[in-house]
Amino acid sequence: MGAQKKGATARVSEDQEELARNPLQAILLADSFATTFRPITLERPKVLLPLVNIPMIDYTLAWLESAGVEEVFVFCCAHSKQVIDYLESSQWSSQPNFSVTTIESHNSISAGDALRLIYERNVIHGDFVLISGDTMSNMSLTQVLQEHKERRKKDANAIMTMVIKKSKPSPITQQSRLGTDELFMAINPVTKQLLCYEDKAERSKGFISLDKTLIADNPSIILHNDKQDCYIDVCSQEVLSLFTDNFDYQHLRRHFVKGLLVDDIMGYKIFTHEIHSSYAARIDNFRSYDTISKDIIQRWTYPFVPDILCGSSAIKVERQGAYRASDVTLSRSAHIGSFTFIGQGTKIGNDTKISHSVVGEGCTIGSNVTIEGSYIWNNVTIEDGCQLRHAIVCDGVIMRSGAVLQPGVILSFKVVVGQQFVVPAYSKVSLLQQPTQQDSDEELEYADNTSGTGELRYKLNGDIATDLSETAYELGTGGVGYIWSVFEGAQDEEWKHSVAPIPTDKLVKLMLDKDEDEEQLTQDGNVLSASGELKADSDDNGSEDDDNADSRDDYGFFEKEVEATFLRAVHENVKVDHAVLEVNALRLSYNMASVDCAGAIFYSMMKLAVESPHHSASELHRNAADIITKWQKLLKSFLHDIDEEIEVILKFEEMCLESAKEFAALFPQVLHLLYDKEILQEDAILRWADEKEGADESDKVFLKSSEKFVQWLKEAEEEDEDD
């Protein structure tokens, strides 16, 4: 650590001149241009939502400030007034050497629009950091900036450096731990150039396509699926003008990054910078809200953790990662579990159990309440006997006694849940009615919402009073709020991005689906089967019978090859060792076992004996004996155990029956010869005899002919035993 730090400071001083000329600037998009945090974001912008009791934007700004950024342009669109008011009243407006300027817009509907507007303002004068206000990090920018600058010096087309971090996706859900889809990136390992970026690899297809030219242009490419996009980009000024030139660029990744990667006319390049020890992640959905909250509580974002950001006198970390503010009223019998945050002024009653949760400021929690993995914001009242599991409860919510929140519930601002009412899993409850028409274009998040506060007031005064009967029906007696219905099609996806962990039945289902997929793939013959067994052939049609036939064919070829090798060895007087090597090579290339080799070699030897000139049976026998004597070493090197020896006998039998009937008469003699030469052990012969005992009469021909020999062997064995 110390060494790294020293290195970093040295680099800073080198770049000091440059930095002095151009103060480091950052563009912070205080608007996610997405709808994932609805209904909460109808009333408050996402960047002001508390994350472990501190607004998200504070983490981002604190990091930018400590990373040496001097000028931040905060772009706000939806609820811009709230963001501006917050920033003005916060500590950030009065920091020396760190200016925060807000840029307001009312008609931007995407990141593209925002960047075009910033380009028009002409405020960016050099390289800048582009992030959104929901990004947590503690990385040092020194290295990535330096890399970016150096690349720029060499290649003016290197306009952007993306920060990535290793994070393995779940093999079952194919999601990252942040709840985003599995991301595929092709990166040149030497230059770190990004070549392909695919965040929506179609599962049904199970593949991504790479352009041929990529492979031609790059000596090596690594395809990653274990990298997480941190959504921290170091950009050159050109990025802004590119957005202006391509007015249809809306989304930073989907349009801009992919557009640049595809477009080879301009030749702009994007590079990646991987961080290892530092942390960076963006809150994209409720799942990442949960994950990042837990990361913060576990201090991965150190020093941007609540007790340091708020000042440690206000919040203390106790044993097992329990964060507690200084004035919490806690019943003696209440049980606060590990990794829990309790904010200032909160009161907690008897026998209440809280674990892995965040409870904000000024909350009142009654007795016998169970809170597990939930995020409770400020000034929430939870009466006796309530149960909350993996839920988000916004400011000012009241839960009457005995109410239950099932996993994945979102209660937006000031909702009241009636007595004993059970809010079903994954439901979203808000005082605002669900926008009746879901805009087909998901980019248009806040379009219906520019007058958010006014609308809200109207609802509070009018609607709720008049619609009380209806809302009461929805949320139990005394309940206030609408339960939003889930859009068609989205129903199935709800559990994926929720704060609640994925239910086991879904996991099991996914696992089964996956297995099926895999089976299909295996049957297609393109993929190794799960056991890793290699198929003998490379043919595509793969039913079992064909497979066997193929392998039989294969054996035929193999036998021929071995025979040819053997003959060459005989004629050219090749050394036995070399012949062994050659046969072994053949065995590997045909994927055969040594049993097959033994059979094939023996076959070749006998065939040679038959084919060499002979006039009588005795001459044939002598031929065979010569060959066996000469090449016994070759044969023996493939006879490792008894099975292989039996194979040799069976092969011989087969030959006697089919290809070399002349040997039929000589069967016992040759058998004896093989025994004498210690090629076959008596065990093998006896076992062969035993096996044949039960066979058909026709199969017993050779057994009978060699009966005497077998008998003699048996007796010899008995004698041995007698001794």
Partner 1 sequence: MPDTQALVNDFLNKLKKRKIEGSQATAKQTAELLRSVISQTRVPYTNQAAALIQSVKAVGEGLIAANPVELAVGNVVRRVLHIIREEDLSLTTAAMAGLNLSAVSDDEDDVGGDNQPVLSAAAIAAASRSTLRPPSLQTLLEDVPDSAAVPHTSSSGGDSEGKSKSADKSSRSRKLKHDVIEAVNELIQDINTCHEQIAEQAVENIHQNEVILTLGSSRTVLEFLCAAKEKKRSFRVFVAEGAPRYQGHLLAKELVTRGLQTTLITDSAVFAMISRVNMVIVGAHAVMANGGVIAPVGLNMVALAAQKHAVPFVVLAGSHKLCPLYPHHPEVLLNELRSPSELLDFGEFSDCLDFGSGIGAPLLHVVNPTFDYVPPKLVSLFITDTGGHNPSYIAEIYQLFVTSLRGEDMKFKSEIMKTNCVAGGNLVKS
CB of 134 to partner 1, least distance (A): 18
Retrieve residue 426's tokens.
């994954």
Using CA atoms, how far residue 603 sits from 577, 600, 615, 675, 709, in Å, is: 19, 5, 21, 17, 22
Alpha-carbon distance 405 to 490, whole Å? 21
Alpha-carbon distance 106 to 36, whole Å? 20
Distance of CA 413 to the CA centre of its chain: 35
Q: Quick one: which of 123, 208, 214, 507 contacts partner 1 (CB under 8 A)?
A: 507
- Asked whether position 13 contacts partner 1 by CB under 8 A, the answer is no
Complex with partner 1: residue 92 or 590, whichever CB lies closer: 92
Alpha-carbon distance 359 to 271, whole Å? 41
- Asked whether position 513 contacts partner 1 by CB under 8 A, the answer is no
Complex with partner 1: residue 95 or 101, whichever CB lies closer: 95
Retrieve residue 637's tokens.
């090197």
Q: Quick one: which of 137, 236, 250, 291 contacts partner 1 (CB under 8 A)?
A: 291
Complex with partner 1: residue 303 or 424, whichever CB lies closer: 303
Phi-psi region of 281 (alpha: psi -120 to 50; beta: other; left: phi over 0): beta
Q: Quick one: which of 154, 205, 276, 615 contacts partner 1 (CB under 8 A)?
A: 276
From the list 49-57, 160-168, 558-566, 579-587, the region that binds partner 1 by CB under 8 A is: 160-168
Alpha-carbon distance 292 to 290, whole Å? 6
Residue identified by tokens 């590119």 is 242
Which are the contacts of 608, defined by CB distance < 8 A and separation ≥ 6?
Answer: 566, 567, 570, 627
Complex with partner 1: residue 77 or 499, whichever CB lies closer: 499
Complex with partner 1: residue 313 or 543, whichever CB lies closer: 313
Alpha-carbon distance 576 to 599, whole Å? 17
CB of 294 to partner 1, least distance (A): 6
CB of 171 to partner 1, least distance (A): 8
Q: Quick one: which of 93, 298, 491, 629 contacts partner 1 (CB under 8 A)?
A: 298
- Asked whether position 558 contacts partner 1 by CB under 8 A, the answer is no
Complex with partner 1: residue 321 or 478, whichever CB lies closer: 321
Using CA atoms, how far residue 237 sits from 123, 146, 242, in Å, is: 10, 16, 9
Retrieve residue 390's tokens.
């993996």
- Asked whether position 312 contacts partner 1 by CB under 8 A, the answer is yes
Indicate the SS3 state at residue 55. strand
- Asked whether position 333 contacts partner 1 by CB under 8 A, the answer is no
- Asked whether position 167 contacts partner 1 by CB under 8 A, the answer is yes
Q: Quick one: which of 369, 411, 500, 685 contacts partner 1 (CB under 8 A)?
A: 500
Q: Looking only at residues 14 through 73 of this chain, which bind partner 1 when binding is defined by CB under 8 A?
A: 62, 65-66
Q: Looking only at residues 619 through 638 of this chain, which bind partner 1 when binding is defined by CB under 8 A?
A: none
- Using CB atoms within 10 Å of the CB of residue 161, give its burial: 0 to 12 exposed, 13 to 18 middle, 19+ buried: buried
Alpha-carbon distance 514 to 172, whole Å? 8
- SS3 string, 666-684, reads HHHHHHHHHHHCCCCCHHH
Q: Quick one: which of 45, 50, 112, 179 contacts partner 1 (CB under 8 A)?
A: 179
Alpha-carbon distance 209 to 201, whole Å? 9
From the list 37-45, 309-317, 448-456, 512-520, the region that binds partner 1 by CB under 8 A is: 309-317
Q: Quick one: which of 68, 339, 345, 576 contacts partner 1 (CB under 8 A)?
A: 339
Residue-by-residue DSSP string for 359-400 = E-TT-EE-SS-EEES-EE-TT-EE-TT-EEES-EE-TT-EE-
Complex with partner 1: residue 54 or 214, whichever CB lies closer: 54
Residue identified by tokens 């991965």 is 300
- Asked whether position 175 contacts partner 1 by CB under 8 A, the answer is yes
Complex with partner 1: residue 259 or 501, whichever CB lies closer: 501
Alpha-carbon distance 257 to 465, whole Å? 49
Alpha-carbon distance 700 to 667, whole Å? 12
Check: CB of residue 113 under 8 Å from CB of residue 84: no
Q: Quick one: which of 170, 350, 491, 548 contacts partner 1 (CB under 8 A)?
A: 170
Complex with partner 1: residue 153 or 276, whichever CB lies closer: 276
Q: Quick one: which of 321, 345, 478, 542 contacts partner 1 (CB under 8 A)?
A: 321
AA letter at 587: R
From the list 161-169, 548-556, 605-613, 630-638, the region that binds partner 1 by CB under 8 A is: 161-169
Complex with partner 1: residue 362 or 503, whichever CB lies closer: 503
Q: Looking only at residues 366 through 425 of this chain, which bind partner 1 when binding is defined by CB under 8 A?
A: 373, 390
The residues facing 675 across adjacent strands are none
From the list 165-173, 420-428, 465-473, 699-707, the region that binds partner 1 by CB under 8 A is: 165-173
Check: CB of residue 110 under 8 Å from CB of residue 443: yes
Which are the contacts of 367, defined by CB distance < 8 A and separation ≥ 6?
Answer: 331, 349, 350, 351, 352, 384, 385
Number of residues that bind partner 1 (CB under 8 A): 55
Q: Quick one: which of 290, 561, 644, 647 contacts partner 1 (CB under 8 A)?
A: 290
From the list 191-199, 275-283, 345-353, 612-620, the region that binds partner 1 by CB under 8 A is: 275-283
CB of 223 to partner 1, least distance (A): 16
Neighbour count for residue 318 (Cβ, 10 Å): 12
Complex with partner 1: residue 170 or 520, whichever CB lies closer: 170
Q: What are phi and psi of 305, to 5 degrees?
A: -120, 155
Complex with partner 1: residue 97 or 477, whichever CB lies closer: 97
Complex with partner 1: residue 1 or 20, whichever CB lies closer: 1
CB of 455 to partner 1, least distance (A): 34
CB of 242 to partner 1, least distance (A): 31
**DSSP H helical segments within 31-164, as ranges?**
56-66, 80-89, 111-121, 141-154
Q: Quick one: which of 342, 502, 680, 703 contacts partner 1 (CB under 8 A)?
A: 502
Q: Looking only at residues 85 through 144 of this chain, which bind partner 1 when binding is defined by CB under 8 A?
A: 95-97, 138
CB of 168 to partner 1, least distance (A): 5
Report the interface residues with partner 1, using CB under 8 A: 1-3, 62, 65-66, 95-97, 138, 165-168, 170, 172-173, 175, 177, 179, 226, 276-279, 287, 290-291, 294-295, 298-303, 308-309, 311-313, 316-317, 320-321, 338-339, 355-356, 373, 390, 500-502, 507
